[in-house]
Amino acid sequence: MLANSLAAGYSQVVVANSGKQVFLAGQVGWDVNGALAGDGSFAAQAAKALDNVRIALDEAGASGEDIVHIKYFVVGCNEGRVSELSTAIREAAIFDFEHPPTGTLLGVECLARDNLLIEIEAIAVIPT
């Protein structure tokens, strides 16, 4: 039996029926001008990265409800950052927490730029 992961905001398994697949490259916590969100803190970057996921999905004709897998890359991953990320995910309300996508969280040493603290990739399937 698989562990209950719904409390942590992800499903162990998602079955996607046929549809248009959407693959999002890593989204980070900066705006269209490359400026870090807010004060540059992890919480501010996480909120903006999730907003950027929403924007990218919208541009592809999808929504957070269409996400089947989401992957978080977190610099300096620790319990505090995991808690901040969980809060940001719930506040973003990007997907239905009763039927969340599968998810992976990876602690990483660094990202493409020194000041980036989080990057989020997603795969969505738009039903046909």
Counted domains in the chain: 1
pLDDT reading at 3 higher than 60: no
* Token digits of residue 12: 């162990």
Contact (CB, 8 A) for 37 and 118: no
Has residue 27 been placed in a domain?
yes
pLDDT reading at 14 higher than 70: no
Nearest to 66 by CA among 126, 128, 6, 25: 126
Mean pLDDT, rounded, for 26-49: 94
Has residue 9 been placed in a domain?
no
pLDDT in tens, 51-76: 999 999 999 999 999 999 999 999 99
Output 61 or 19, whichever has higher pLDDT.
61
Which pLDDT score, from 0 to 100, does residue 6 have? Answer: 58
Q: Give the CATH number, domain containing residue 68.
A: 3.30.1330.40
Domain membership of residue 71 as a residue range:
17-127
Phi, psi of 28 (to 5 degrees): -120, 180
Has residue 12 been placed in a domain?
no
Helix (H, G, I), strand (E, B), or coil: what is residue 60? coil
Letter for the amino acid at 118?
Answer: I
Contact (CB, 8 A) for 124 and 24: yes
End-to-end CA gap in the chain: 32
pLDDT in tens, 79-125: 999 999 999 999 999 988 888 898 999 999 999 999 999 999 999 99
Prediction pTM value: 0.88
Has residue 25 been placed in a domain?
yes
Rounded CA separation 30/36 (Å) = 4
Has residue 2 been placed in a domain?
no
